[in-house]
Amino acid sequence: MLDLGLHQGTSLYGRMPEDGLRMVTMACAPGGHSLELLWSLCMHWQRLGYPPVVLDGSASESAESPGLIDLLEHCLPIEAPRAGHAGEHSLAVLPAAHGLAVLAEPMPSGVAPLYRLQPLLRRYAVVVLYAPVPVLASGLMAEISAPPLLLLETGPGAVMATYADLKRLALHANLNGTVLRLGYGQHQRAAAHQQLGTLCECAARHLGRTPRTLALDPEHPADLQRLALELLENAQILPAGAPPALPSSRDAVRASHHATSH
């Protein structure tokens, strides 16, 4: 289990992690609730001394918005903000759709695709891969075992849509998922548990596996902090020593300006 005293009192900004880089994967969903949850989780990690960087697989890099593909093409490691220099409400976000597609391509080294992020993002503590389910259910996730976080929405068809996502993850990436349902107050929490129960029954019957499920009240900060800590504890470790995805003859330079604050 995580030691709360250590994590709340220890700043890891600008550190060189000896145990590898933590990676959390999260499926983006229509609506905006997944973005709100992503923001809340990142703010919790930042306050605990774990500076996060988000790879936004739902956004494409461009000349106006450089991102992951630029880091990969030029082997540009980026710096996390040092203690006292990161705004409390700022977050490093990199557009990443093209870069993730490049990472998914086979490389002669045989290194798992996402392991190649470690040399570029090692100054951060947590990498959040925020992407559509088809991206998470692909060869990009080779050697990744940590379950992606999926948000179960409300409304008709939500359970079946999430079941379809779980099926895709199972068939194409051999991954289970952690499914989160937001519920405000006692009444919504009861409805959330009912939905999650239906989803688990469906998954057990047709997939032979059940996801881990959570019902969370966004208005309870303690619930969000427990989720943030649990995701840290169960995060995938990207070990040190992997080569960058696209070796370049250019000298590696600091590229902190490529990380945009939102």
Instruction: Give the whole-angstrom CA distance, residue 246 versus residue 31.
Output: 34
What is residue 210's predicted lDDT score, i.e. its pLDDT? Answer: 95
What is residue 163's predicted lDDT score, i.e. its pLDDT? Answer: 97
**Where exactly are the structural domains of the chain?**
20-261
What is residue 19's predicted lDDT score, i.e. its pLDDT? Answer: 53
Torsion sign across C-alpha atoms 197, 203, 204, 206: positive
Q: Which two tokens stand for residue 243?
A: 């080569």
- Residues of the chain with pLDDT below 70 are 1-19, 81-89, 243-262
pLDDT digits (tens, 9 = 90+) for 69-126: 999 998 877 777 665 555 556 899 999 999 999 998 877 777 899 999 999 999 999 9
Among residues 222, 60, 211, the alpha carbon closest in space to that of 149 is found at 211
Fold of 20-261: Rossmann fold (3.40.50)
Q: What is the pTM of this model?
A: 0.84
What is residue 12's predicted lDDT score, i.e. its pLDDT? Answer: 37
